Structure 1
Amino acid sequence: MKKDISKYVGQQIKHYRKLNKLTQKELGLRLGVKHNTISSYENGTNEPDQDILFALAEVFSISINDFFPDIENNNINNNTSFEFEYDFIPVPVSAGIPLNIDGMKMNDVEKIKIPDFIMGRYAKRRDIWIMKINGDSMNKVIPHGSLIAVKSSTLDDLKDNDIVVFSNGYEYSTKRFFNDKLNERIIFRPDSTELCFTDYTIPYKNAHELKIHGKVVTYIVNLD
């Protein structure tokens, strides 16, 4: 099933490359990869990641969806589903100063369908849920308005520099995580082009309301 869609994507890349009269070497130069990498995409032995697919779509002036079969009318396998329904928390999570979000309950969820090619190796996992980012404190890596895919995690699952969704009381936010054991504190650090954002620090002794909701594993821009 995965092999079938990889081959289909490869055929589409080859089709649009030839349509644009580009050699594999020329396309590779545009993307910053070697020509044999393009060859591996086209023959289906190597699957391009999300960033490469968006770059290819930009080079070819097409939608990223043009690389994939119509889910309802595909000719690969009519019993194959190329999307999955994930839990969606409808309240935007702050990527700025942690916000007090009244009434937010992690169990009060909606549903959202996302194509497998967007989720990559996290596709169809039931421990993944979706939220929307609000703010610019993480805009070097996650732009405002992006959907984020969050893998349920605990404090023990994390390593320094992971991007997490956390709350302290009712203040929810998304930042990079650092465990400063020497000074006995947790640091949540912005990753922004704007210098106004600063660290949000919680001493161990004041962390009784701190909760790590999950680790951000990917993000989706302009999905709709």
Structure 2
Amino acid sequence: MRTTGEIIKELREAHGLSKQRLAELLDLKSYTTVSKWEVNENHPRGKEIKMLCTLFNISADYLLGLKDENVIPLFNYKYIPSSISAGLPITVDTVADYECERIALPDNVMGKWARNKDVFFLKVNGDSMNKIFPNDALIGIKMISLSELNDKDIVVFNYDNEYSVKRFMKNERANKLIFRPESNDETFTDIVIEEEQKDLVQIVGKVVVYIVTA
């Protein structure tokens, strides 16, 4: 039978929280309280138990090791609270400069990318990729360089300080980069980057998973 301390540690790590961050969420004076819980030197009480149960969506019986439950494993991923256009590129601030929020997602949704700390999330705004994912879908992005991309990867890219998501198409013969929409609306067209413009392109990453939120 697992101890309460073991369960707290398992839940904290599954949600990608440091001891300090968990202490802040529970309004504790110091992360050492969490440390003592996890090695069973001390135990949460009343209000702390209720807050832990609310935070992790579990029952008190589960937290105290009295009852097993089918708890869906979750992990916290970075979430940038801004939409990336799937239509014409839109101007946004540099992605790296955002103060990221967190989004908890179940492992079974993430598949092989579950708990990958290099994956972060954005929301799609637009219809130029609606054959693949609709407007308002969440997209999980794995950071990757241009040289690592494969033909037909779906990518988020920055071109001349504007961000967009498209299908990447290699055209090595013409020495061009092509970013192709996949939309039911045929008015969307390719974004073609000529050789002399390639320095203006930054690949943010490739889309490895998407989640329809509505």
Pairwise CA RMSD: 2.0
Post-superposition shift, 1:208? 0.8
Query: What amino acid does structure 2 have at the position aligned with 1:162?
Result: D
Number of the residue aligned with 2:58:
72
Specify which of 111, 120, 129 is matched with residue 120 of structure 1.
111
Match of 1:166 in 2: 157
> What SS does the aligned partner of 2:95 have?
coil
> Which structure 2 residue ranges, 5 or more long, are not aligned?
1-55
Give the C-alpha shift of residue 139 in structure 1: 0.1
Q: Whole-Å Cα distance in 1 between the matches of residues 133 and 68 of structure 2? A: 34
Q: TM-score, normalised by structure 2?
A: 0.66
CA distance in 1, matches of 2:90, 2:58: 40
Tell whether the 8 Å contact from 1:71 to 1:82 is kept in structure 2 after alignment: no
* Map of 2:170 onto structure 1: 179
* C-alpha separation in 2, matches of 1:105 and 1:187: 22
CA contact 1:175–1:190 (8 Å) conserved in 2: yes
Equivalent residue letter for 1:116: D
Provide the aligned length of Structure 1 versus Structure 2.
152
- The structural deviation recorded for 1:142 is 0.8
Per the alignment, in what secondary structure is the counterpart of residue 112 of structure 2?
Answer: helix
In structure 2, the partner of 1:207 is: 198
User: Are 1:196 and 2:182 matched, yes or no?
Assistant: no
Match of 2:81 in 1: 90
Q: Distance in 1 between matches of 2:96 and 2:190?
A: 25
Mapped to 1, the partners of 2:72 and 2:211 lie a distance apart of 20
Partner of 1:106: 96
* Corresponding letter in the other structure for 1:119: M
Deviation at 1:116, TM superposition (A): 1.1
Structure 2 partner of 1:134: 125
Give a deviation string over 1:10-56, Cα, whole Å, max 9, x none: xxxxxxxxxxxxxxxxxxxxxxxxxxxxxxxxxxxxxxxxxxxxxxx
Structure 1 position 76, deviation (Å): 4.7
Q: Secondary structure at the match of 1:156?
A: helix
Q: Secondary structure at the match of 1:85?
A: strand
Tell me how far 1:169 sits from its aligned partner. 2.1
CA distance in 1, matches of 2:130, 2:72: 33
Unpaired stretches in structure 1, ≥5 consecutive residues? 1-69
Contact 1:91/1:104 (8 A) holds in 2: no
Query: What is the CA distance between 1:190 and its match in structure 2?
Result: 0.3
| CA distance, structure 2, for counterparts of residue 204 and residue 71 of structure 1 | 52
Residues 89 and 106 in structure 1, CA contact (< 8 A), matched pair in contact too? no
Q: Deviations over 1:90-147 (max 9, x none)?
A: 110000011122x343242111111111111111100100000000000000110000
- Give SS of 1:194's match: coil
| 1:208 partner SS | helix
115-124 vs 134-143, which moves further: 115-124
Native 8 Å contact 1:186 1:203 kept in 2: yes
Q: Following TM superposition, by how much is the alpha carbon of 1:77 offset from its aligned partner in structure 2, in angstroms?
A: 6.2
Q: CA deviation at 1:202?
A: 0.4
1:35 corresponds in structure 2 to none
| TM-score, length of structure 1 as denominator length | 0.63
